[in-house]
Amino acid sequence: MNDHFEELINDGLDQLTTGSTLPAGIAARARARVRRRQYQLRASLAAGAAAAAAIAVIAATSAGSAGTTPRTPAGPRSAPSVALLAKIERAVAGKARSAPVLQITTTFPAGPVPVPSDPFSTTQFNEGGVDQSSILWTRGHVLKVVMFHSKGQLDDESLTTERGLLATYTDVDYNSRSWSRGSVNFFVYKWAIPHCALQPLDPAEPRDWVPRTLAKEIKHDIACGQVNVAGRQHIDGVDAIKLAFAGGHLKVPWYDKEPAITHQVMWIDAHSYLPLRYLSTLTFAHAKTGSPRSASTQCDFKWLPATKSALAKLRLTIPRGFHQAHPKTFTVHAPAPHKSAAKHK
């Protein structure tokens, strides 16, 4: 009976699969989806960078505003003094005026994180945990990101220039030894910031994307929550002030059933008062796998003077021998904001 039963299963599956042929274009579709995910990642990075820079500014301004003074919890933490925040604000503002090249080195969580970052189809971020780190350089509307695999090999390199809602990009994919140019609509992605407790911004306002507006949003969040000085630490040998932001809920309109709790910490150089490091931790109370999961992303900042060599970081050279892939233009439509996306705080 056993053999007969097994034969029947075999025959049944043979019958089911007979005539199945590989669908045309399946590899192209898979590559396109991977590429789109990479752009989400970069957009998230960009948002994280802008937000991190803005946090320092807002930490200063919010503490000085009536009704927004952070609550001081019991224990060693304390509200940052107005003087400290003013110093941070001046330092960041001074850097902004001199238009440096901001370099951010990011270390991603080691494994896949079930972030609801893709409104289209996926709940995975850094699927497979392949991308382990990236270096981003940005100045003005130009953003360059280089992504690395876990063993340090180059994965992908892209240069993006923003023009309102639309950004144009050149992308070099070291996996397929190809490059492409195209455009991407950022404004959907900015809603899916995976490591910032930000309220989704107004899709009707293109300028929402710029740090100034992000700063406004963060100010609002800080006004609702708390920021505390959590002591001093050495970061890569630099004396640093640790600022801890209380947890908030990640707000993604179309995934209101799966909020993530965010915790953000920023270390400020105790001498220059510029951000040194930003650590964001997401905790998924209702991860679809059924058990709580968390993941941390760390950003390390360097403020490079706009020298010739620093500006060269914002250029991209297509390696010899790479072939051109047909461009991918992401023309996406943002979903309408969900009512239940109201603030959780």
Partner 1 sequence: MGAQADEADGDGTDSDGTDGDGTALDRLLAERGDQLMRAAVALAGSRVDGEDLLQAALERLIRSRYRVESDLEGYLRRILYNLAADGWRRRATGERRLRLIRSTPSADAEVGPAPNIDLRDALVRLLAQLPPRQRTVIVLRFWAQLSEAETAEMLGCSEGTVKSAASRGMARLRELAARWQEEPRTLTGQLLEEPR
* Interacting residue ranges for partner 1, rule: CB under 8 A: 2, 5-6, 8-34, 119-124, 127-128, 130, 149, 151, 153, 155, 175-178, 180, 182, 188, 254, 288-289, 323, 325-336
Instruction: Work out how close the CB of 18 gets to partner 1 at its nearest, in angstroms, rounded to a whole number.
Output: 8
Residues in contact with 228: Cβ distance below 8 Å, sequence separation at least 6, in sequence order: 70, 72, 73, 77, 78, 79, 80, 243, 244, 246
Instruction: Work out how close the CB of 27 gets to partner 1 at its nearest, in angstroms, rounded to a whole number.
Output: 5
Q: Which is nearer to partner 1, 6 or 205 (CB)?
A: 6
Q: Which is nearer to partner 1, 79 or 322 (CB)?
A: 322
Which residues face 229 on adjacent strands?
78, 243
Q: Which is nearer to partner 1, 30 or 342 (CB)?
A: 30
Rounded Cα distance between 165 and 123, Å, is: 24
Instruction: Work out how close the CB of 137 gets to partner 1 at its nearest, in angstroms, rounded to a whole number.
Output: 23
Residues in contact with 192: Cβ distance below 8 Å, sequence separation at least 6, in sequence order: 40, 43, 44, 115, 116, 117, 118, 119, 252
Rounded Cα distance between 4 and 101, Å, is: 71
8 Å CB contact between 65 and 223: yes
Q: Which is nearer to partner 1, 314 or 318 (CB)?
A: 318
Q: Which is nearer to partner 1, 67 or 290 (CB)?
A: 290
Instruction: Work out how close the CB of 233 gets to partner 1 at its nearest, in angstroms, rounded to a whole number.
Output: 35
